[in-house]
Amino acid sequence: METDSSPLNDYQRRFQQFALQSAVRRLLPDSRVSKCLRQISQYPNKKTPLYFSWVKVKQSVQHKKTFFTGLDVCGSLWVCPVCAAKISERRKAELEQMLVTHRARGGELVMITRTVPHEFANDLKTFLTSFLKAEHFLKEGKSYRNLLQRIKVKGTVRVLEVTHGENGWHVHTHELWFVEKSYPRLYGDLSGLAYDEEERRYYVPAKGLFSMWVDSVHRAGFSGSPSPNAFGLHNGDYAAGYLAKWGVQPTTEWTASAEMTKSHIKTNARMITKNKGRTPFDLLRDFFHGDKNAGDLFKEFARVFKGRHQLQYSRGLKAQFAIEEKTDLEIAQEFEDHAHELGFLDYEDWLLILKHDARAYLLELAKSGWGAVSDYLLTIRKLKYV
In whole angstroms, the minimum distance from the beta carbon of 35 to Zn ion comes to 9
Q: Which is nearer to Zn ion, 94 or 328 (CB)?
A: 328
Nearer to Zn ion, 329 or 351 (CB): 329
| Shortest distance, position 283 Cβ to Zn ion, whole Å | 18
In 3D space, the residue among 69, 72, 74 whose CA is nearest the CA of residue 55 turns out to be 69
User: Which of 57, 71, 74, 214 lies at the binding interface for Zn ion (CB under 5 A)?
Assistant: 74
**CB closer to Zn ion out of 240 and 311:** 311
* Number of H-type helices and E-type strands within the chain: 16, 10
CA nearest to 304, candidates 116, 77, 126: 126
Cα atoms in the Cβ-side hemisphere of radius 13 Å centred on 379: 10
Least distance between Zn ion and beta carbon 22 (Å):
12
The window from 29-37, 101-109, 153-161, 240-248 that contacts Zn ion (CB under 5 A) reads 29-37
Give 80 or 112: the residue with its C-beta nearer to Zn ion: 80
User: What is the b/e burial string over 290-312, where b = at least 16 CB atoms within 10 angstroms of the residue's CB?
Assistant: ebeebbebbbbbbebbeeeebbe
Query: 10 Å Cβ neighbour count for 229?
Result: 11
Beta bridge partners of residue 130, listed in sequence order: none
Q: Is 77 in the site for Zn ion (CB under 5 A)?
A: no
Kindly give the interhelix angle for 10-27 and 81-104, rounded to the nearest 10 degrees: 120
Type of residue found at 210:
F
Can you tell me the distance from the alpha carbon of 88 to that of 107, in angstroms, rounded to the nearest whole number? 25
CB of 359 within 8 A of CB of 37? yes
Can residue 36 be called a binding residue for Zn ion (CB under 5 A)? yes
Q: Output the smallest distance, CB 260 to Zn ion, in A.
A: 21
Indicate whether 85 belongs to the interface with Zn ion (CB under 5 A): no
DSSP string, 160-192: EEEEEETTEEEEEEEEEEEESSPPTTHHHHHH-
Binding piece for Zn ion, criterion CB under 5 A, among 35-43, 48-56, 172-180, 339-347: 35-43
Identify which of residues 73 and 179 has a Cβ nearer to Zn ion in the complex. Answer: 73
Smallest gap from residue 154 Cβ to Zn ion (A): 34
Residue 225 exposure: Cα atoms within 13 Å on the Cβ side: 10
Residue 269, sorted as left (phi over 0), alpha (psi -120 to 50) or beta, turns out to be: alpha
By CB under 5 A, name the one of 23, 55, 57, 80 that touches Zn ion: 80
Q: Smallest gap, in angstroms, from Cβ of residue 36 to Zn ion?
A: 3
Of the listed pieces 34-42, 91-99, 140-148, 340-348, which binds Zn ion according to CB under 5 A?
34-42
The CB-of-119 to Zn ion minimum distance in angstroms stands at 33
Tell me the site size for Zn ion, rule CB under 5 A: 5
Counting contacts by CB under 5 A, is residue 83 touching Zn ion?
yes
- DSSP three-state, residue 128: helix
Question: Which CB sits closer to Zn ion, 25 or 276?
Answer: 25
Minimum separation from the CB atom of position 33 to Zn ion (A): 5
Is 87 an interacting residue with respect to Zn ion (CB under 5 A)? Answer: no
**In angstroms, what is the minimal distance from the CB of 88 to Zn ion?**
12
Q: Nearer Cβ to Zn ion, position 68 or 178?
A: 68
Question: DSSP class of residue 337?
Answer: S
Q: How far is CA 287 from the centre of its chain?
A: 19
- Region near Zn ion per CB under 5 A, out of 33-41, 54-62, 219-227, 367-375: 33-41
Binding residues vs Zn ion (CB under 5 A): 36, 74, 80, 82-83
